[in-house]
Amino acid sequence: MSNIFPKVANKVPGWIMLGISLKVLAIVAAIYYYMTPSYTRAGYQPVQPVPFDHSLHVGQVGLDCRYCHSFVDRSEHSNVPSTNTCMNCHEVIQKDSPKLAPVWESHRSGEPIEWVKIHKTPDYVYFNHSVHVNRGISCVHCHGNVDEMEVVWHDKSLSMAFCLECHRNPEQFIRPVEDVYDLKWEPTQEWLETGAAEFVHNYKVLPPESCSGCHR
């Protein structure tokens, strides 16, 4: 048989294998980066119908989270406030501001403001807000420093890995119940060394790690 393959053909299998491995690596890396919630969800910052400024209301005025999200510690669902909540103050303060026009409109007509939802748990996940905030998990863990946001964005990935990181090691993330709504709170050395573990023990913080804990 004549030599139908040039000498370089000896290297082709190596190239093919190298090429395939590089392609597979690139695809896996791309999927891992572009198709996980840290890319697809984190950073989402829609324009809201009312330019409500959290950094002003929480950061400067000093409102508690629960003033507006009033059922967060009593319900699985953290509510978005009704127009009436806004009107408690804005009937008097800055009542002629053009930014408040949609709020007045809603107040008169009784139709709620259509806020754009930012944080969504998938429908196959059962998440209970009250059980978290009443066991020392602060708003800031999942929602970021909302007190510094002019327009709220999706700060954390809220992926399953994100949930499990805390569920597996709650003592690294937990804080005293009274400091849950203090978004500026920093743990003391003593808290990190002993306090958190004691809290986890005394409050019987037993975050579920089984499938049915969240996927009921």
Partner 1 sequence: MAHQATSADIPAEAQALIEEAKPVSIPRRAMVENNRSYHWVSEKICGIVEQKTPMWWWLATGISGFVALYTLFGLVYLVSTGVGVWGLANPVNWGWAIVNFVFWIGIGHAGTLISAILCLLKQRWRTAVNRTAEAMTIFAVVCAGIFPLFHVGRVWFAWWLFPLPNANWIWPNFRSPLEWDVFAVSTYFTVSLLFWYMGMVPDLGLLRDRAKETWRKYFYGVLAMGWRNSVKHWKNYEMAYLVLAGLSTPLVLSVHTIVSFDFAASILPGWHTTIFPPYFVAGAIFSGFGMVLTLMIPLRSIFKLQDIITQYHIDCMCKITLATGSMVGYAYAMEFFIAWYGANSYEAFAFVNRAFGQYWWAYWIMIACNVISPQLFWFNGIRNNTTLVWVISLFVNVGMWFERFVITVTSLANDFLPSSWGYYSPTLVDIYTYIGTFGLFTFLFLLFLRFLPMIAIAEIKALSLPQADPHNEDHPQNANPQPAEDK
- When binding is defined by CB under 8 A, the residue of 87, 118, 151, 160 that contacts partner 1 is 160
Copy the structure tokens of residue 211. 């499938």
Residue 32 touching partner 1 (CB under 8 A): yes
- When binding is defined by CB under 8 A, the residue of 55, 159, 166, 177 that contacts partner 1 is 159
Tell me if 33 sits within 8 A of 39, measured CB to CB.
yes
Copy the structure tokens of residue 39. 């890319």
Residue 1 touching partner 1 (CB under 8 A): yes
Of 29-37, 59-67, 97-105, 173-181, which part binds partner 1 (CB under 8 A)? Answer: 29-37
**Total number of residues that touch partner 1 (CB under 8 A):** 15
Binding pattern for the stretch 34-73 against partner 1, x by CB under 8 A and - elsewhere: --xxx-----------------------------------
Closest distance to partner 1 from the beta carbon of 52 (Å): 31
CA 186 to each of CA 26, 33, 41, 138: distance values in angstroms, whole numbers, following the listed order: 39, 31, 27, 11
Copy the structure tokens of residue 86. 């806004």
Tell me if 202 sits within 8 A of 176, measured CB to CB.
no
